């Protein structure tokens, strides 16, 4: 069984000696990685490789295997789909994680603050079915931030949106992270997304997964739109390195 030890709030995340098997497939073998406190780390790997399993382990939702995960107890988790309760208003959905954690006044103030940050104050009383897909995902983003955790796990959180909505969500996430620093582990298949948002990019391939590339992000001097649509030379160089690793992994899979 994976041993999840509790680290102080705001401490780095450390994974050591992780071994996980799913059916006949070995996902991790003696896998170790650290995530710096307050930094955004993007994880890229082929589909089905075990990225979500790693997030679930950090969150304490997955224990089958062996190894040690040291992480703060409080964790926020943002999924690809919003996962809102259909019978609750947008405001109620966002408030749920802190209803029993904070006083009624503090919970409402914190909920209203994050509703405003993601541009949903006007939708506070609406049910999820009365909102667009982008609005529901922004509500999920606000819910992840309303919970006062030092860790934010993001599993393909922007993947199901069209380009315009994707950029708006990424801008909202970036703005919120500038206000409230979190240790973020971002799983994505979009290397541009990783380059735009992450302080560090880790590319994993193989079965079991191994780290093949570990590089710094490319900074945030330009607007997010410029970084995503018109990457500078350093970002293009990083893109080529990422693509080279992923293409070589595809070739190895085809030849195996």
- 104 exposure class (CB count in 10 Å sphere: 0-12, 13-18, 19+): exposed
User: Are both 82 and 162 inside the same structural domain?
Assistant: no
Q: Is 52 helix (H, G, I), strand (E, B) or coil?
A: helix
User: Are both 119 and 5 inside the same structural domain?
Assistant: no
Q: What's the rounded mean pLDDT across residues 178-191?
A: 93
- What's residue 159's pLDDT? 78
At residue 220 the predicted structure's pLDDT band, cuts being 50, 70 and 90, is confident
Percent of residues, the chain, with pLDDT higher than 90: 73
- What's residue 160's pLDDT? 65
Q: What's the rounded mean pLDDT across residues 174-199?
A: 93
At residue 256 the predicted structure's pLDDT band, cuts being 50, 70 and 90, is low
164: domain range?
1-74+152-175+183-256
User: Are both 203 and 235 inside the same structural domain?
Assistant: yes
> What is each CA distance from 95 to 23, 106, 197, in whole angstroms?
38, 10, 26
User: Are both 144 and 19 inside the same structural domain?
Assistant: no
Residue 254 has pLDDT above 70, yes or no: no
User: Are both 94 and 122 inside the same structural domain?
Assistant: yes
User: Are both 65 and 38 inside the same structural domain?
Assistant: yes
- 84 exposure class (CB count in 10 Å sphere: 0-12, 13-18, 19+): buried
CB atoms within 10 A of CB 215: 16
Cα 104 to Cα 102: distance, rounded to the nearest angstrom: 6
Q: Tell me, what CATH number does 23's domain have?
A: 3.40.50.300
Tell me the HSE value of 132 on the side-chain side, using a 13 A CA sphere: 9
- What's residue 85's pLDDT? 97
Percent of residues, the chain, with pLDDT higher than 70: 98
Higher pLDDT among residues 223 and 59, named by residue = 59
User: Are both 101 and 162 inside the same structural domain?
Assistant: no
Cα 143 to Cα 77: distance, rounded to the nearest angstrom: 9
Among residues 148, 163, 196, which one ends one of the domains? 148
Query: 76 is written with which tokens?
Result: 């926020």
At residue 255 the predicted structure's pLDDT band, cuts being 50, 70 and 90, is low
User: Are both 28 and 103 inside the same structural domain?
Assistant: no
Residue 183 has pLDDT above 90, yes or no: yes
User: Are both 157 and 67 inside the same structural domain?
Assistant: yes
User: Are both 65 and 187 inside the same structural domain?
Assistant: yes
Per-residue pLDDT tens digits for 114-173: 999 999 999 999 999 999 988 999 999 999 999 999 999 999 988 766 888 888 889 999
User: Are both 111 and 59 inside the same structural domain?
Assistant: no
Total domains, the chain: 2
- What's residue 248's pLDDT? 86
User: Are both 82 and 70 inside the same structural domain?
Assistant: no
Residue 86 has pLDDT above 90, yes or no: yes
> What is each CA distance from 122 to 91, 110, 167, in whole angstroms?
10, 16, 21
């Amino acid at each position: 069984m994976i041993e999840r030890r509790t680290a102080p709030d705001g401490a780095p995340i450390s994974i050591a000696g992780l071994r996980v098997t799913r059916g006949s497939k070995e996902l991790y073998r003696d896998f170790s990685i650290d995530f710096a406190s307050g930094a955004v780390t993007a994880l890229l790997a082929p589909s089905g490789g075990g990225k979500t399993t790693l997030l679930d382990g950090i969150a304490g939702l997955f224990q089958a295997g062996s190894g040690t995960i040291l992480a703060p107890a409080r964790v926020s988790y943002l999924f690809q789909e919003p996962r809102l309760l259909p019978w609750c208003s947008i405001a109620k959905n966002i408030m749920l994680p802190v209803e029993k954690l904070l006083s009624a006044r503090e919970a409402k103030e914190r909920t209203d603050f994050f509703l405003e940050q993601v541009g949903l104050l006007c939708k506070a009383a609406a049910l999820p079915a009365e909102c667009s897909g982008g609005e529901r995902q922004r509500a999920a983003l606000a819910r992840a931030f309303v919970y006062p955790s030092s860790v934010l796990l993001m599993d393909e959180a922007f993947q199901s949106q069209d380009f315009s909505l994707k950029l708006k969500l990424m801008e909202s996430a970036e703005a919120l992270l500038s206000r409230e620093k979190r240790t973020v582990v971002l799983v994505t298949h979009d290397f541009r997304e990783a380059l735009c948002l992450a302080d560090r990019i880790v590319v994993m391939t193989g079965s079991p997964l191994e780290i093949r590339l570990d590089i710094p992000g490319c900074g945030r001097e330009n607007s997010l739109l410029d970084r995503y649509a018109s990457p500078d030379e350093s970002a293009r160089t990083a893109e080529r390195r990422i693509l080279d690793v992923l293409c070589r992994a595809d070739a190895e899979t085809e030849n195996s």
